[in-house]
Amino acid sequence: MNTNADLLKELRIDRNAAAQEPGPSRRGLWIGIGVALGLVALGAIGWKLFSGEDGLPVKTAPVAAIATGASGSASVLDATGYVVPRRIATVSAKVTGKVREVLIEEGMRVEAGQVLATLDPIDADSARALAVSQLEAARSQFGSVQAQLKEAEANANRLGQLVGQKLVSRQQYEQAIAARDSLRAQLLTSQRTAQVAADSLRIADNGVDNTIVRAPFAGIIIAKSAQPGEIISPAAAGGGFTRTGIGTIVDMDSLEVEVDVNEAYIGKVQPKMPVEATLNAYPDWKIPAEVIAIIPTADRSKATVKVRIALKQRDGRIVPDMGVRVSFLDNIKPTATAAPKAIGVLVPNDAVTLRTVDGNETDAVFVVDAGKATLTPVKLGEIRGEQRVVLSGLVAGETVISAPPAELKDGGAVFEKTED
């Protein structure tokens, strides 16, 4: 039988054992942390499986072949510009007047001297009629004075004979001489008046001719600016009801190309240098051309120099203001026995990086193939604007990484970065 002492002993709490057992609250905390970490890991794995992206995001660019001309010459410089005409004119009348007739339309070909339009000739015709009347009056006056002079000369001659015979007085003879000389002066004046009237008539004829607008040279009409009934003036006038031209004509035989070349590369361009031009509208059509001149001034705002290029081929597809790309070709022509010169490929400037290969720092690029980046040493050539010539190590058609991240290693996994 248990005594009271034994019963008290059984009811006593063992504090050492209680201290060794973890409390329920701390055990729950550790369990919650473990579950959270597991969910994060599972989420990351699921995201990779769902998105299919594994590795570093990068931006890629294709490796481009260097353009060569039809003769095999290499392009030393590329530029863009526009087709421009050397002969272009907005045709207007020499006088202000109202348009009576317009004989042109856009796209129409005209010859030099062809009538393009006519103005209302009422004022010019009136001025010409007045000049004709003045000329007739001057000629009539000249004839009258000429007849009077003829009579005065005969009278003076007769009195000259009589004064010698003492049949008339000396005074009468001198009066006859004075009348003769006066008529001679009047005849000269009337002759000059008739000449002035004739000149006025020629000016009036020019005024009538100025109401006819003619083509200054042969070309194509590219703009029709006036309509019958409008007022046209060779100088700009106030208001919006006065035209300054009938139309615009372009000499298609004077078309050429103007390009802006960065002043840092203008030393590569020389007069008579062969050029290959490609219109943006016809990318497969290579047009032979050559450098006409390098304009000896620079545009400080764009740091460029303008170059004029002559097109050696004429075609109706070439029209003013077309965009064009040109390649300045090497003057050296390859011979039949010479081996073709390796000219390399083009990559973006930022694709080239300095990395350690076999213990040495060298120029290299990362080539992308099947989602892997391969570090490839290259031999570099010249810089062409935003591109760099690679002489060896790459072939056209490969894909390289632009601005490769510093943490990217040889053989690292990459994926194409998409623009947001």
- CATH 2.40.30.170 location in the chain: 75-86+253-329
Q: What's the rounded Cα separation, in Å, for the pair 336 and 344?
A: 21
Report yes or no: 211 and 117 within 8 Å, Cβ to Cβ: no
> Would you say the C-alpha torsion 318, 319, 320, 325 has a positive or negative sign?
negative
Tens-digit pLDDT profile for residues 6-39 = 655 555 555 554 444 444 445 555 566 665 665 6
Phi, psi dihedrals of residue 308, rounded to the nearest 5°: -95, 135
Position 36 scores a pLDDT of: 60
Q: What is the pLDDT of residues 39-88, one digit of tens each?
A: 655 554 444 444 445 678 888 988 887 765 555 566 788 899 999 999 99
Superfamily of segment(s) 122-208 = Helix hairpin bin (1.10.287.470)
Q: Find out if CATH 2.40.420.20 is the number for domain 57-66+343-416.
A: yes
Task: Give the integer Cα–Cα distance in Å for 374 and 388.
Answer: 19
Could you tell me where in the chain the CATH 2.40.50.100 domains are found? 89-120+211-250
- Distance from C-alpha of 69 to C-alpha of 335, rounded to nearest angstrom: 15
One-character DSSP codes across 293-348: EEEEEEETTTTEEEEEEEES---TT--TT-EEEEEEEPSPPPPSSSPPPP--EEEE
In the chain, which segments carry CATH 1.10.287.470? 122-208
Is the pTM value of this prediction over 0.75?
no
Q: Which fold has domain 89-120+211-250?
A: OB fold (Dihydrolipoamide Acetyltransferase, E2P) (2.40.50)
Q: For the residues of 73-117, what is the DSSP string, one character each? A: PBEEEEEEEEEEESSEEEE--SS-EEEEEE---TT-EE-TT-EEE
The boundaries of every CATH 2.40.420.20 domain in the chain are 57-66+343-416
Q: What is the pLDDT of residue 74?
A: 67
What is the pLDDT, as a whole number, of residue 73? 62
Cα angle 18, 21, 24 (rounded to 5 degrees) comes to 110
pLDDT at 19: 46
Q: Does domain 75-86+253-329 have CATH number 3.30.559.10?
A: no
Query: Which residue stretches of the chain have pLDDT < 70?
Result: 1-54, 67-74, 236-242, 331-343, 385, 418-420
